[in-house]
Amino acid sequence: MKTFQSFITLFLISSLSNALVAEEMDHSKHQMNNMENIESMDHSKHQIMDHSTHANMDHMGEMEGMDHMHHNMSLDAEGMVMNSNDSKLPEDCKAINQTYNITVKAGTKYSVDFPGTIFGYEKHELQVEPCSLLNITFVNEDHIRHQWMVHGLPKYLYPQGMFHLEAAGGAQKSGSFIVPSDNKTYLIHCDISQHMEKGMKAQLVVGKGNGDLPSIPGISGAWINPN
């Protein structure tokens, strides 16, 4: 029940107004036709139930939390790129509309303008046209790991709906993804414990977007716990 609630909470933060929630529901219903999606849904449910047990999968190959295994992923000492895709079009796009080459810098120094935060991106908002190809270069200017993850992408192209760049301290990583045609605002964050909460949070606005996400430095306030 608890995990279900957290799922809902997370679901809600990615879409603020009621109308948006409805849109989101339709969207996922539509996606349910896709086998891959159903599979990944089951899988994530399984993982939620699984949590601290260390033990619910069927063979050694599938370790706990290693949902990463199902992703298109490359890992080295410099970091990680997950679900990079510069060619497969979303179902609702006939062609790539525009190509953006974006460099995103990350580090503690980008939090200076937002008192109370510690971590930050150089850009906390990106705006692109629907059906665009985004070539992202993520530059980590700190001496620790940072991530630039986008959530809510179509699951049939991006397992768990996720595009993920992780760069070790002082390193940079590049990857690409193609956004669908609908007006939507996507969550971008660093999932290292407390990095998002302490400022490393941004949004990707596709087309007109569908409303600002909460607690984005310089853009929006907190949703529940205003400081």
Minimum CB distance to other proteins smaller for 129 or for 191: 191
Minimum CB distance to other proteins smaller for 71 or for 206: 71
Assess 139 for contact with other proteins (CB under 8 A): no
Assess 69 for contact with other proteins (CB under 8 A): yes
Assess 162 for contact with other proteins (CB under 8 A): yes
Q: If we measure between CA atoms, which residue out of 190, 187, 191 comes closest to residue 220?
A: 187
Interface with other proteins in residues 75-104 (CB under 8 A): 75-77, 79-80
Interface with other proteins in residues 19-38 (CB under 8 A): none
Interface with other proteins in residues 184-203 (CB under 8 A): 191-198
Q: If we measure between CA atoms, which residue out of 147, 66, 16 comes closest to residue 58?
A: 66
Least Å from the CB of residue 94 to other proteins: 29
C-alpha to C-alpha distance for 180 and 1, rounded to whole angstroms = 32
Contact 200, 189 (CB under 8 A): yes
Contact 85, 158 (CB under 8 A): yes
Assess 56 for contact with other proteins (CB under 8 A): yes
Assess 217 for contact with other proteins (CB under 8 A): no
Minimum CB distance to other proteins smaller for 7 or for 102: 7
Assess 154 for contact with other proteins (CB under 8 A): no
Minimum CB distance to other proteins smaller for 47 or for 137: 47
Assess 64 for contact with other proteins (CB under 8 A): yes
Among 65, 72, 102, 103, binds other proteins (CB under 8 A): 65
Among 19, 38, 48, 112, binds other proteins (CB under 8 A): 48
